[in-house]
């Protein structure tokens, strides 16, 4: 499909319902109140960018979240905290536009690298990332402890 007229802009607090719905499509359901709380924290942080893709009629059809990670071991990099394009709007170049926009932001933040941690179940997303210039360079185990 064709993306039509898409603009990329920073997310606002009143995007919360669309962001919540799209997060659910990524496999991360939450209540509206929880989404509102999380969004407020992100919007308050200078070191994070949450960008949305919007159609000409104002419908939010995708988002990408970038987080600046200052590290002792390496120069600061940007981690992608999530990327999703609304079902029915995929394969039209919107994901690529979102990634280019977050790359521009990342350059402006002085980062030299963008890292994406992608679940092994998302093999279609792997092809997408490789096509837009990312390379898989490491496989990791993820450990967690409920606290």
Ligand X SMILES: CC(C)(COP(=O)(O)OP(=O)(O)OC[C@H]1O[C@@H](n2cnc3c(N)ncnc32)[C@H](O)[C@@H]1OP(=O)(O)O)[C@@H](O)C(=O)NCCC(=O)NCCS
Q: Smallest gap, in angstroms, from Cβ of residue 125 to ligand X? A: 4
> What is the Cα 60 distance to its own chain's centre?
13
Contact 22, 63 (CB under 8 A): yes
Among 30, 81, 93, 109, binds ligand X (CB under 6 A): 93
Q: Which of 6, 35, 51, 94 binds ligand X (CB under 6 A)?
A: 94
Binding mask 96-115 for ligand X (x = CB under 6 A): x-------------------
- The residue number with the shortest CB distance to ligand X is 95
Check binding of 146 to ligand X (CB under 6 A).
Answer: no
Give phi and psi for 68, each to the nearest 5.
Answer: -80, 125
Is position 118 an interface residue for ligand X (rule: CB under 6 A)? yes
Q: Angle at Cα 121 formed by Cα 99 and Cα 61, nearest 5°?
A: 40
Query: Bridge partners of 67?
Result: 48, 79
- For residue 147, the SS3 value is coil
Q: Is 26 in the site for ligand X (CB under 6 A)?
A: yes
d(C-alpha 63, C-alpha 11), whole Å? 8
User: Contact positions toward ligand X, by CB under 6 A?
Assistant: 2, 26, 83-85, 90-96, 118, 122, 124-125, 127-128, 131
């Amino acid at each position: 499909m064709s993306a039509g007229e898409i603009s990329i802009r920073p997310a606002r607090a009143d995007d919360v319902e669309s962001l919540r719905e799209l997060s659910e499509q990524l496999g991360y359901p939450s209540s509206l109140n929880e989404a509102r709380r999380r969004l407020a924290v992100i919007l308050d942080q200078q070191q994070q960018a949450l960008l949305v893709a919007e159609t000409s009629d104002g419908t939010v059809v995708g988002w990408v979240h970038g987080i600046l990670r200052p590290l002792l071991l390496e120069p600061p990099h940007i981690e992608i905290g999530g990327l999703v394009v609304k079902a029915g709007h995929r394969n039209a170049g919107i994901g690529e536009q979102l990634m280019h926009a977050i790359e521009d932001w990342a350059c402006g933040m002085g980062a030299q690298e963008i890292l994406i941690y992608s679940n092994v179940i998302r093999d279609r997303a792997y092809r997408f990332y490789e096509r837009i210039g990312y390379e898989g360079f490491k496989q990791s185990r993820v450990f967690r402890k409920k606290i």
